[in-house]
Each structure stands twice: as C-alpha cells, then as structure tokens.
Chains A and B, each alone.
Chain A
Amino acid sequence: MIEIENVHKSFGELKVLKGINLTVDKGEVLTVIGGSGSGKSTLLTCINGLEPIDSGRIVVDGTDVHARGTDLNKLRRKIGIVFQQWNAFPHLTVLENVMLAPRKVLGLSKAEAEEIAVKQLTHVGLAEKLSVYPNRMSGGQQQRMAIARALAMSPEYMLFDEVTSALDPMLVGEVLDTLRMLASEGMTMICVTHEMKFAREVSDRVAFFHQGIMAEIAAPEQLFDAPQHPETKKFLAATH
C-alpha cells in the first residue's frame, strides 16, 4: 500500500505539490492525468525517493520513504519506475540492460539473472532482441525494454510516467498493450498518462491534478462522464 499524506514539495520558490493526500491499495491501477507542470512526474519521483519532499509523509508498505534511516536503495527494489525518456544503458545489450540490476543489486548469479531477464523480455515481446544494442531498436521497443528492466527486479509497485509520450503514434499501441497486460496480471500501478481511452479502460481510479493539487479522484466512468471539478471539465473538454 502506498500512503501519501499531505505532501508538499517545491523547487526553489516554485511550489509544485501543495498538499497531496492519496492512498493506493495493493492491486489497484491508478492513472493520473492533468496539465503540463501540474506536478504529476514530481509526485512519482517523490514516491521512490528520487526527489526529497518538504513536508508530509509517503509510506510504502509501512516504510516512511523520506525518514532519515530509510534504505532507499532497498526500497527502490520494490518500486519500479519507467520514464517518458526510455533511458536505455547504451553500452549494454538488451539482455545485459535487464540483467544488470538483478545481478548487482539483488546479487543473483549470472544464470539466475539471465533466466529472469529472458523471461521478462519475452513477456514484453522482445525475445528476438536479446543480443541487440538499444540504439538498434525503435522507441517502442526501447520503452518495452525499460519496462522489462524494471520488472526484472520483481517490484510490487510500478510507476509509469507518460511512457508513450515520446513515441511515434504507430508505436504507442504496443507499449499500452504491455501496460494492459500488467494491469490484468494484478500489478499495482500508478500511470501518469495523456491517453484518455487507455485510462478509462484500465484504471480502477483516475486522479486529476491541477497546479499541484489533486483536484479530483474518482472511478473512470465517473471522472470522465460526470466530472465534478470545473478544472477537470475544462481539461477534459480541451483534450477530447
């Protein structure tokens, strides 16, 4: 369970999160929508401790992420994150990209790590690409590799930050299919996305962010068909 309590965060003078309260249960799929600069990405990076917060608390399975003694490297093993920019390690093959963290972070043997990596890469449809270098693959393939790389750590939570935004429209489908598959397998996910159709289809709940505030959170039918907050209405009208 991820519990976010009254989280405030600013970059210098700029207040980016202004008191976010949110609980995500095991097995839930939450999508986050909202305008540019509303703090969606920042919230995700705060959840796995890549960014510090100013006040409030984020608790993952009972561990306070931002408490002093928390071992973030250990915590991050169970929170996978995939970014908009796919961030392949360019000097490693696809297989090595996925094997690296299981070997070095989890301390698995080469054979064990390889087995896991092959399994995850097959899962996302890249079984043919094991010995290829990332720059030889399309954006969609690199993004699926990044997903497999995160999954190879057997995370309990997955955070996706606009994973299709940097892709050609042609390649969006294959990545969304991968996310759908994960959702159907019961993975706990927080997806920041601009794909409204996808959000409606896979989410248990949809949260709308506006200027650092979570303006509205509801089941997808409710949020998309009968939005309550005026800003949600405006945003949905603009994106349709």
Chain B
Amino acid sequence: MFNTALTWNDLVFLAQGAGMTLMVTAVSVAAGTVLGIVFGLIRVQCGPYWSAPLTFALDVFRSVPLLIQLVLGNALQSIMKLGWPPFTTSCVVLSLYTAAYCTEIVRGGIGAVPPTTRRAARSLGMTWWQDMRYIVAPLATRVSLPSWIGLTLGVMKDSALVLWLGLIELLRASQILVTRLQEPLFILLICGAIYFIISFPIARLGGYLEKRWSPND
C-alpha cells in the first residue's frame, strides 16, 4: 500500500503528543473559563472606572503574542524560583490568555440579557444572585456559546506554541518524526487529521447545543 517508514510506535508517539495537546487545552480552557466568568462579572458589576486596571491587564494578555507570553512567563517563574515544570507554566500562561478572551465573551453575554427581563426577575423578589443564576446565566450562555467554542478551538491550535517550553505536544511530536523519517507531507497530513478529529466533536457539540436551545428563544 504505502511505502512508509512510519511504525506503529511512531503512531503511538503522535497519539501521546495529541494527549498532551488535549491536556494543556482542557486545563487552560477550564481554568480560563472560570477566571473569565469571574473577571467578566467584576467588569460588569464594578463598571468601567473601577475595573480599569483589570481591563488593562486583560488587554495586555490579548495583544501580546502568545509565544512571547510563554517565554516571558517561563523566564518569570525561573527568576521567582517557583520551580514550575514546563507543563504548569504552559497551563498558567495559556489560562490567563484564555481568560482574557473569555472575559469579553462573558461580558458580551451578560450585556445581551435585556435589562427589562432582569428587572422583571428582581420585581418578583429574586435576589441579585438568583437573577444571575436562573435568568442571566442561562440566557448569557446561549448567546456566548458560539464564541466560546471558537475560543476553545483557537486555544487548542495555539497550544502548539508550548513546544517552545519543551513540551512534546502534537505538533512537536510530528516535527520530531519529520526530522527523523524525512516524510514531511505524509506526517503533517496525519498530524492535521488528528487535530481535526479532536476539534470536530467540540465544533459539533456547539452546533448541537445551539440547535437544541434555539427554538426556545
């Protein structure tokens, strides 16, 4: 069939790389989303004036290239003698990067809930928290979902940059094989296919939830 030097073990090696990509992405998206919700709430509740320092910090994370953030983050942790392994450093930097984008998504989602709807909730005697929990959260989630899925897929691809800190994720694993086997096209094709296989379910999940929720709006 194919005339390739790629062995079963090499495929396992790629799969391990994919596992690392998934791990870094999962941790960063989870932590970034939680932080993003917290930061988004702070920005909405405190108003532009009091949240200005936070807004500024998040703008920095959104505008400086991720690669530079990773390298600087790694340098910082070593200067501060934190002794973090590359995985931890990568996850911390990527989480903050994700949080910076997620904050905007959360803010937009909360802003999309009509004030009159929230007023109706409060007029029934619901507390601020109950309004948030039962009215704002479900409605904002629906609005934000497409952007959040887009962010997740983006972070998954951007996570390839953690190879600069020495982590062997999917792209780095492919590079290693390319160097050794000298079959760049074939190996990169497989690498791309694996990215697609892990992204596709996430994209479909988004489509499914959107469809499920849409008749109710």
- Residues of A bordering B, CB below 8 Å: 48, 50, 73-74, 76-77, 80-81, 83, 85, 87, 89-91, 100-101, 104-105, 133, 135, 146, 149-150, 153
**Cβ contact within 8 Å between A91 and B126:** no
Q: Given A74, A90, A101, which contacts B124 in the complex, CB threshold below 8 Å?
A: A101
Task: Give me 12 other A-B pairs in contact (C-beta within 8 A), A77-B125, A91-B217, A104-B130 excluded.
Answer: A50-B123, A74-B125, A83-B119, A87-B116, A87-B120, A89-B117, A91-B139, A101-B124, A133-B215, A133-B216, A135-B216, A135-B217
**Cβ contact within 8 Å between A104 and B120:** no
Asked if B48 CB lies within 8 Å of chain A CBs, one says no
- Give the residue name and chain of the B residue nearest to A104 (CB): B130
Contacts of B142 in A (CB 8 A): 91
Contacts of A48 in B (CB 8 A): 123
Contacts of B138 in A (CB 8 A): 91
**Cβ contact within 8 Å between B120 and A146:** yes
Within the assembled complex, what's the spacing in Å between the Cα atoms of A199 and B65? 65
Chain B nearest CB from A205 CB (Å) reads 24
Count of B interface residues, CB-CB < 8 Å: 22
**Cβ contact within 8 Å between A90 and B125:** no
Contact with A along B175-217 (1 / 0, CB 8 A): 0000000000000000000000000000000000000010111
Q: With A83-B116, A87-B116, A104-B130 as given contacts, are A76 and B125 in contact (CB-CB < 8 Å)?
A: yes
Asked if B77 CB lies within 8 Å of chain A CBs, one says no
Q: Mostly helix, strand, loop or mixed at chain B's interface?
A: helix
- Give the residue name and chain of the A residue nearest to B217 (CB): A90
Taking CB atoms and an 8 Å cut-off, the chain B residues in 103-122 that contact chain A are 114, 116-117, 119-122
- Give the residue name and chain of the B residue nearest to A105 (CB): B125
- Give the residue name and chain of the A residue nearest to B120 (CB): A87
- Give the residue name and chain of the A residue nearest to B114 (CB): A87
Contacts of A80 in B (CB 8 A): 123-124
Q: With A100-B134, A105-B130 as given contacts, are A89 and B121 in contact (CB-CB < 8 Å)?
A: yes
Contacts of B130 in A (CB 8 A): 104-105
Within the assembled complex, what's the spacing in Å between the Cα atoms of A150 and B124? 7
**Cβ contact within 8 Å between B139 and A90:** yes
Asked if B52 CB lies within 8 Å of chain A CBs, one says no
A sample of 8 inter-chain contacts (CB < 8 A) reads A80-B123, A87-B114, A87-B116, A91-B213, A100-B134, A101-B121, A105-B125, A105-B126
